[in-house]
Amino acid sequence: MATKMAERIPAERVQVDPIHARAREVEVIDTDFHFLPTWEKMREYMPEPFASGYKRYPPVGSEYPPDQAIDMVGTGQSVMGVAATAEDVLRVIDEIGVSTVMLSPGFQRPQSIYHPRAISALSRAFNDYLANEVMPASPRIKAEIMVNQRVPEEGAAEIRRVAKNENFISIYTEFGGTYESIGTSTHDPIFEAAVEFDLPVTIHVATFWQQWSPLSNGARTWTELLGISSMATCLAFMGSLVMQGLFDKFPTLQIMVKEGGYWWLPDFLARADDFYMGHPGDIQYCERKLDLGEKFLRKLPSEYVLEHFHFATQPMCIPDDEQKFADLMRLSHGEDLFCYSSDWPHATFDPCNWVFEHPKVLTPEVQQKILSGNARKLYKRIG
């Protein structure tokens, strides 16, 4: 969000117009754009008995819609509109100045569907719809493979089923307090399949604190939930990814973090290293380390972050003081780790204007890296 904090009006909608003129002159890759097919379309592609039985998108765990917080009816998933078809996507990305877009599933917390096989059925339907009707429409549309992360073997099978289609450029998973941290070895089937096809894995915010847990019972507001619990549960997932030896087992694996924040990186990098150096004795009991017969991590925790992680920028929170912005960019390694994302159509939508509005902090070279260069390095299939 570019406007200075001090000048903003509470609950004001982000305006799509005007898009900065520079956005249309350079390549802009949007790494997080939510695509929400109609449910009827999903039923067309879904296997039985789900196609007949699931007449609407099913209830899922961990709901807290922001409608009271933004004074709008609905789940907050469609504040700027709904993109349900390739035509919708192309119209919107022209409007917001994006050259190439990566579609993420726009469903509400699909991993929370009560029936685990229904998650697999929906993943299959979503991926087939993309492959058959959406991605063929334009080379500007790329997508993430939707998978069932609760049953990792089924998630891995879905990756192997569709990964030969080069328009799928990564794998979509979610983080949050209602799901087990994805860094556990339980999830290795998914990572194995990802590495097999050299596909990065996204972890995207989904649920808040585990429902009915003390931290959930003590929360009241959207800022506490999407604003803060997403930072914290993201830290938990990253902690598990880094500390349990995942990258020693899969040294080529790349992770993209979406909507968990990143200005906490200075603390995470320093703290994970410090605690690891002081308390490294329990690393050897992690499943992967037992399998490898190794006692310690091969690198410092911060080194894995710098080598294996990228961060989608939305919601970008820019300090009013440019010096602080510059410091945060440096301390968080933003030049190399950040990839622009809009999060269209959510209330916290970020047009890419901010990238051009701070030339002292973000030189043209850095702008290029954030808008497309880093994403091109990470997503080798963008071509």
Structure tokens at 21: 């003129």
- Specify the residue, 39 or 222, whose C-beta has the smaller distance to another protein: 222
Among 263, 335, 368, 376, binds another protein (CB under 8 A): 263
Under rule CB under 8 A, residue 55 binds another protein = no
Q: What residues between 131 and 170 interact with another protein by CB under 8 A?
A: none
Among 20, 271, 358, 376, binds another protein (CB under 8 A): 271
- Specify the residue, 135 or 241, whose C-beta has the smaller distance to another protein: 241
Bridge partners (DSSP) listed for residue 101: 30, 141
Contact 79, 347 (CB under 8 A): yes
Provide the minimum distance between the beta carbon of 237 and another protein in the complex, in angstroms, as a whole number: 8
The number of residues making up the chain comes to: 383
Binding piece for another protein, criterion CB under 8 A, among 17-25, 136-144, 159-167, 175-183: 175-183
Q: Is residue 362 helix, strand or coil?
A: coil
Distance of CA 19 to the CA centre of its chain: 24
Q: What residues between 285 and 344 interact with another protein by CB under 8 A?
A: 285-286, 294-301, 303, 315, 317-319, 324, 327-328, 330-331
Please report, as a single letter, which amino acid is at residue 114: Y
Among 52, 73, 214, 360, binds another protein (CB under 8 A): 214
- Site size toward another protein (CB under 8 A) is 90
Residue with the two structure tokens 């009241």: 220
Provide the minimum distance between the beta carbon of 215 and another protein in the complex, in angstroms, as a whole number: 5
Alpha-carbon distance values, 205 to 125, 177, 202 (Å): 22, 10, 10
**Which secondary structure element, helix H or strand E, spans residue 121, and what is its range?**
helix 116-129
Q: Which residues of 215-231 are buried (b: 16+ CB within 10 A; e: fewer)?
A: ebeebeebeebbebbbb
- Residue 323 CB burial class (10 angstroms; 0-12, 13-18, ≥19): exposed
Under rule CB under 8 A, residue 279 binds another protein = yes
CA distance 278 to 267: 16
Provide the minimum distance between the beta carbon of 179 and another protein in the complex, in angstroms, as a whole number: 5
Provide the minimum distance between the beta carbon of 311 and another protein in the complex, in angstroms, as a whole number: 11
Provide the minimum distance between the beta carbon of 147 and another protein in the complex, in angstroms, as a whole number: 18
Under rule CB under 8 A, residue 218 binds another protein = yes
Among 228, 250, 306, 382, binds another protein (CB under 8 A): 228
Under rule CB under 8 A, residue 270 binds another protein = yes
